[in-house]
Amino acid sequence: MNLIELNNLSLGYNNNIVIDNINLNIEDGDFLCIVGPNGSGKSTLIKGILGLIKPIKGKIIYNDLKPNFIGYMPQETKVNSNFPATVFEIVLSGTLNRLGLKSFYTKKEKQIALSNLKILGIESLKNKSFGDLSGGQRQKVLLARSLCATSKLLILDEPSNNLDSKSKKELYKIILDLNNNYKITIIMITHDLDHNNLIGNKILSLKDDDIFYGTVDEFVRKVHHE
């Protein structure tokens, strides 16, 4: 089943087109990596899918999914190291899209937050202050928060930025696990994967006017061919 369909989609700001006429389907269970140099429109595409900017042309079709219920992990959440917030407060805030007109969390939202802490193996950090955590731990907390917002699709914008290689590995392992065992569809913008160590099953490469969309195998063949 197609979770999201992009049909002849053009996106940009003030009619400056950044992404032109893109067509692709994201299927339930996919793990799509978006690669490409700075300014190639990776973040713009994500904003489009999240419904934060309106298409200039074409359209986005969501099947069995609302844009508000996509678990979004923004790039480099810059947080003051002395920002007073516990891990639980932060993760719980990911369930806000489930509240609708209600103002307060119920038991249900708290349970969702707790179970996502468990999935990411950071239950023990629950009452810790976010500022006291390491870079890798912080990313896991933000991932748990995104997970609270969705049961279907995660969109991760360079989640491994500024992490050491050990934490990077660990984070990718968790993300793969979410895809394989929890059947969460994943769209991930990434910088640090070259064609030798790609993960996921599909690749969207935005490079100048040369847009490639296909499976990882096709992409590797194409790169070797060039």
Partner 1 sequence: MNNIIEMFSYAFMVRAFIVGTLISLCASLIGVSLVLRKNSMIGDGLSHVGFGAFSIATILGFSPIEFSIPVVVIVSFLILKLNDSNKIHGDSAIALISASSLAIGTFLVSIVKGVNTDINNYLFGSILSLNNTDVLLSIILSILIMLLYIISYNKIFAITFDERFSKGIGINTNFYNMIFASLCSIVIVLGMRLMGALLISSLIIFPTISSMQYFKSFKSVVISSAFIGVLSFIVGLIISYSFETPTGSTIVIINLIMLLLFKVINYLRIRRI
Residue with Cβ nearer partner 1 (69 or 212)? 69
Which residues, listed in sequence order, are joined to residue 33 by a DSSP beta bridge?
188, 203
Residue 77 contacts partner 1 per CB under 8 A? yes
- Output helix, strand, coil percentages for the chain, rounded to the nearest 5: 40, 30, 35
The span of 102-110, 114-122, 159-167, 202-210 binding partner 1 (CB under 8 A) equals 102-110
Shortest approach of partner 1 to residue 25 CB, angstroms? 22
Q: Which one, 114 or 216, has the nearer CB to partner 1?
A: 114
Residue 114 is which amino acid?
L
CA dist 208 and 20 (Å) reads: 11
**Residues of 155-177 as b/e, b for ≥16 C-beta within 10 angstroms?**
bbbbbbeebeeebbebbbebbee
Q: Name 100's Cβ contacts closer than 8 Å, sequence gap at least 6.
A: none
Residue among 56, 90, 122, 211 that touches partner 1 (CB under 8 A): 90
Task: Mark 113-132 with x for binding to partner 1 (rule: CB under 8 A) and - for no binding.
Answer: --------------x-x-xx
In the β-sheet with 210-215, what is the strand arrangement from edge to edge? Answer: 70-73, 153-157, 185-189, 31-35, 202-207, 210-215
Shorter beta-carbon distance to partner 1: residue 142 or 206 = 142
Q: What residues form DSSP beta bridges with 70?
A: 153
Q: Which stretch binds partner 1 (CB under 8 A): 10-18, 99-107, 161-169, 200-208?
A: 99-107
The yes or no reply on residue 50 touching partner 1 (CB under 8 A) is yes
Please tell me whether residue 93 binds partner 1 under the rule CB under 8 A. Answer: yes
At its nearest, how many Å lie between partner 1 and the CB of residue 12?
A: 18
d(CA 119, CA 110): 14
One of 16, 38, 81, 82 touching partner 1 (CB under 8 A): 82
Edge-to-edge strand order for the sheet containing 57-62? 16-27, 2-13, 57-62
Catalog residues that contact partner 1 under the rule CB under 8 A: 50-52, 67-70, 72-74, 77, 79-80, 82-86, 89-90, 93-94, 96-97, 99, 103-105, 127, 129, 131-132, 142, 145-146, 149
